Amino acid sequence: MEIKQLRDINEYSSKSVNPSKSPDTIFEVYSVPSHADNKPEYLRGDEIGSTKAVVEEGDILLCKINPRINRVWVVGKSSEYLSVASSEWIVVRSTENNPEYLAWYFRSDKFKARMNTGLTGIGGSLTRAQPKRVAEYPVPIRDRKEQDEIVVILNNVYKIINSRIEQLEKLDNLIKSRFVEMFGGEKLKRLEICTNC
């Protein structure tokens, strides 16, 4: 394993587009709010109010704003439309490395702690990571085969965890619906109040 600064593995060269100059064109937009749904938005140029960075499949997006939330996104290719990203993202492109491997590292507690140092802004949700500082952060680089193996393992674990969460949510809903059938909704409200005490 080799430790490199982020700037040494980042091949991204800034390229931007002003979508409002192409009002009828559809763009695939990687915005900060759409990250929560893990799906880009599809908007016409006249619906987009600012210049955007042009991104490609495999680019990794690190959110500058309020970095304690630790939003990391790998650009996919969901459509034939031009992919663009908000200026609130730091774009990382590294063709020699597995983008999912880098994304997993960028989601780690260690990297998150680094992203939350030396912030600018007045505090709370208005803080921002400084791209020049982020470019100096160390990144552990393994050979590509090992990166690919790590990604398979972590993706499988993530799927299992999400599956269990979905099962627990369904079980919780089933228990609540049976409770309402047996005792009525008012008692369920009282039960929820008591369990949250």
Question: Which pLDDT score is estimated for 195?
Answer: 54
Residue 132, CA atoms < 13 Å, CB-side half-sphere:
1
Taking the C-alpha atoms of residue 121 and residue 139, their distance in angstroms, rounded to an integer, is: 26
Question: Which pLDDT score is estimated for 180?
Answer: 74
Question: Which pLDDT score is estimated for 25?
Answer: 96
Of the candidates 34, 127, 32, 40, the one whose C-alpha atom is nearest the C-alpha of residue 83 is: 40
Averaged pLDDT, groups of 10, the chain, 197 residues long: 96 95 96 93 94 97 94 92 96 97 97 92 84 96 96 91 85 80 63 53
Question: Which pLDDT score is estimated for 190?
Answer: 54
Alpha-carbon distance values, 186 to 130, 177, 194, 195 (Å): 51, 12, 13, 14
130 residue type, one letter? Q
Question: Which pLDDT score is estimated for 107?
Answer: 96
Find out whether 108 and 23 touch, Cβ atoms under 8 Å.
no
Question: Which pLDDT score is estimated for 135?
Answer: 96
118: helix, coil or strand?
coil
Of the candidates 16, 89, 26, the one whose C-alpha atom is nearest the C-alpha of residue 59 is: 89
Taking the C-alpha atoms of residue 72 and residue 89, their distance in angstroms, rounded to an integer, is: 9
Question: Which pLDDT score is estimated for 125?
Answer: 73
Q: What is the pTM assigned to this prediction?
A: 0.80
Question: Which pLDDT score is estimated for 158?
Answer: 81
Question: Which pLDDT score is estimated for 164?
Answer: 86
The count of other CB atoms within 10 Å of the CB of residue 71 is: 18
